[in-house]
Structure 1
């Protein structure tokens, strides 16, 4: 029986108690100059980006990308769960997995920019950040909480909207997260991508990643990457869809890890009143940024 996580805070950002318990280790994590960090708010296209990056690094070789599950290929920097059933991580911080990996490493995080271990900036590491519009991100996050027992109970849909708007969810406020990383991109080597652009024109966005990683592939390989990182293919890929591990934690019968991967699904969830309230609050919170999101294609 997996108990739902209790939460704590690090510098005002909500994290699981388990992560808070190893925070010093996370903060002191030693990045290497050739590390690549994939950073996102939870449920903003993380796994999709990871698979895309791996396909690029493996030059479109599908077999190589299936060498291990995504959780093992790209360690989740801050994740720690005090539960022996949660293989492959068991009771060791995932950092141990990262530290044992040969370079070059690709590491994943959901941390807001101010909580990223300083060694990543000292080493001038490259970071790919992906942002997704707030409404779709919220819907996806809600369903993820429902199926993932390692996360706090989301409560009702109504309650979860409230938590999301006030930033009282894991990894803190979506608004602060996307804005913080947006600001940081002017100071660091950060490629800032949008989920909606990736949906609309995957080839174009993959080319941005290729350029950022200073990689070159021919059209045939590019087509292969586009095909194999499509939602339909990834949903059926056990090395990417989280059906291979964490069976004690994730209940795909409640909601699959890869649910819809769509833009505009929020319209199936928000009532007119909820939408109005959300929009008014959003306008206030996003008044101080040049960031613009699309909520439909």
Structure 2
């Protein structure tokens, strides 16, 4: 028999916000502003969001910069550590998490001027809001792609750390496909804009990495990545990087890393970045009805064109 909820408990629940009926955490909600035709996120920095995005857009770039671009929860922390080891030539972990060089989280962008080359930058912003100098300098881009159902599960758990109890997985799945409750919209909107950029700039150096391929054969992908960034590495070194950057090791070292102050503006709690890092975890979360509803969403996106077709079940 289903347990009834005492009236005293139901009385404490806040009324749904008509602008946020599925209880998404405030920091990912669209700000209502547009920059270069794309919604502006509430960057947790000292400047107002529009000012910060303008500074990012005008950020001077170097020809040997490398930037990781991806929709959230597609493996940017993972590949950032791999790139750190490839460019440093050693399997020593970075002392800072990637948020220090994440453009929308970098509180003072002049800090990036102090970094030695090659700089390893990263962002979840759409191409229209990334530094315009990237095109002229042909800055190398590493683009991560992940199965949409696994991405959704990972994103829900990440956002849930800063959300109310009303932000259930079911509410997430109702709001996520709309693209109205997350400033980054949904994953396929991101993938389509990336595909449009590549179509408009066919000679721009971009390496697309599927999360699932990196899980299946990390050393081989790391080898390709080393060649792409111009720092060829031996098979042995790529194997050692793969071992050092396996999920269990990354999760173990994460608490020892330095974190920027801006993260505290999002939540007082320490955000956990590493949860499971496996392929196919969506099967442990989606009910049959939720999976069928999400499949309808995927079918609609396929009609529009995925941009890049993810690996795994669709």
Q: Structure 2 length as normaliser, TM-score?
A: 0.78
Which residue matches 2:101?
75
Which residue matches 1:167?
179
Alignment partners' CA distance in 1, 2:115 and 2:260: 21
Answer yes or no: is 1:135 the counterpart of 2:145.
Answer: no
Alignment partners' CA distance in 2, 1:37 and 1:79: 14
Alignment partners' CA distance in 2, 1:20 and 1:154: 30
SS of the residue corresponding to residue 198 of structure 1 reads helix
**Cα displacement (A) at 1:280:** 1.2
Where do 1:282-297 residues align within 5 Å? 282-287=298-303, 288-289=305-306, 291-295=308-312
After superposition, the Cα gap between the structure-2 partners of 1:225 and 1:240, relative to the gap in structure 1 and judged at 3 Å, is farther
Number of aligned residue pairs: 274
**Cα displacement (A) at 1:285:** 1.3
Which residue matches 1:54?
84
**Cα displacement (A) at 1:24:** 1.6
Alignment partners' CA distance in 2, 1:236 and 1:244: 19
Tell me if structure 2 keeps the 8 A contact 1:39–1:109. yes
Alignment partners' CA distance in 2, 1:53 and 1:38: 10
Which residue matches 1:15?
41
Question: What residue ranges of structure 1 are gaps of 5+ in the alignment?
Answer: 81-92
Deviates more, 1:43-52 or 1:153-162: 153-162
Deviates more, 1:40-49 or 1:20-29: 20-29
After superposition, the Cα gap between the structure-2 partners of 1:29 and 1:290, relative to the gap in structure 1 and judged at 3 Å, is closer
What do residues 13-61 of structure 1 show as CA deviations (whole Å, max 9, x unaligned)? 3522653452221222221211111111111100001001011111133
Answer yes or no: is 1:113 the counterpart of 2:127.
Answer: yes
Which residue matches 1:209?
225
Alignment partners' CA distance in 2, 1:128 and 1:101: 19
SS of the residue corresponding to residue 144 of structure 2 reads strand
Alignment partners' CA distance in 2, 1:240 and 1:23: 30
Alignment partners' CA distance in 1, 2:26 and 2:71: 20
Tell me if structure 2 keeps the 8 A contact 1:133–1:295. yes
Alignment partners' CA distance in 1, 2:40 and 2:282: 24
Higher helix share: 2
Where do 1:178-197 residues align within 5 Å? 178-186=191-199, 187=202, 188-197=204-213
After superposition, the Cα gap between the structure-2 partners of 1:190 and 1:267, relative to the gap in structure 1 and judged at 3 Å, is same
Larger radius of gyration: 2
SS of the residue corresponding to residue 41 of structure 2 reads strand
Alignment partners' CA distance in 2, 1:4 and 1:130: 26
After superposition, the Cα gap between the structure-2 partners of 1:183 and 1:196, relative to the gap in structure 1 and judged at 3 Å, is farther
Tell me if structure 1 keeps the 8 A contact 2:191–2:307. no
Moved over 6 A (4+): 239-245
Question: What residue ranges of structure 2 are gaps of 5+ in the alignment?
Answer: 1-24
SS of the residue corresponding to residue 286 of structure 1 reads helix
Which residue matches 1:224?
240
Tell me if structure 2 keeps the 8 A contact 1:182–1:192. no
**Cα displacement (A) at 1:171:** 1.9
Tell me if structure 2 keeps the 8 A contact 1:38–1:127. yes
Q: Structure 1 length as normaliser, TM-score?
A: 0.82
